[in-house]
Structure 1
Amino acid sequence: MFDQYRDPLLRYSVSFGVPVPDGEEIVQEVFLSLFRHLQLGRSRQNLRGWIFRVAHNLTLKQRYANKRLPAATQEDADIAAQRTDPRPNPEDACSDAQRQQRLLAVVRALPDVDQSCLRMRAEGLHYREIAGALGISLGSVSMSIARSLGKLIRADQG
């Protein structure tokens, strides 16, 4: 599971503005918590949603402890991108930079719940898993994602 979820959890944590080293610590804490959870014989249902919920909570705690702004620094984003999602073609990366900045500005302007829903969905979680991880209704998740995607589509077309 660590190999499968390390990079998505790191991206998720860094997207909240924590530095990459703190994100790596959070990922380690998530899997330590998972080990304890399983060792105590607790539920094995929806472990993916469970680990993202733990990562979410630990990231918010770390962000509060760091007293940082929600947006990661460009250096942290560059390091995370190099480690987790290297681009095969540098020309494509250059041509997409302006579009990416515009869309990131839209995402950063979204309310925290909408950002969290969008991030978790981007990591492949299902609506039910997102609802469980954030403690909101399934309908709220659906509306949040639809509203967020609408804003992103309008920004991309404009």
Structure 2
Amino acid sequence: MKLFKTSKEIVDNFSQKFNEMLEIASNLDGEQALSVFKAWEKVIGDQKLASYCELYDIKNDTAIIKTEHTGWSQQLLIRKKKIIYNFKKFYPALGINNIVVFVESEFSLKQKADVSKTSYSNEDIEDDSLKTISEPDKTLPPDLEKALKALKKSIIKKNK
């Protein structure tokens, strides 16, 4: 798990968010659209939930909200009526009549050091009675089976 962001990542993220806000502001009354971002917590009605989601865009009287987990999207949809009510109450000029929520997870590939090494014992290698689901039921020719076992042992030995 990556704990810190590089300065380039922070600047790129800020630049992207700023451009998104400008695009929304160009479609609407700029001052009011930017104030929605400032008062996001007030629109959502929950400080914790507001910190896990963001206003992505406003199109066709619909607020598009982005979150990174399905659990937060469910919380937003449960509060949908209240969120629309708050948009109408605090920002009537935006004309929000609906919200759409989408989940955008940030997946990162684990580094080789992050993956824990699995240790195998000789008993695991020798025991062919445990077959995996993907393993066919047909038996292999003895020469091929012997070669595969030797290959498996050498790979495990190399990884220790």
**Higher relative helix content:** 1
Name which structure has the greater RCO, CA cutoff 8 Å, separation 6+.
1
Bigger strand share: 2
TM-score norm. by structure 2 comes to: 0.31
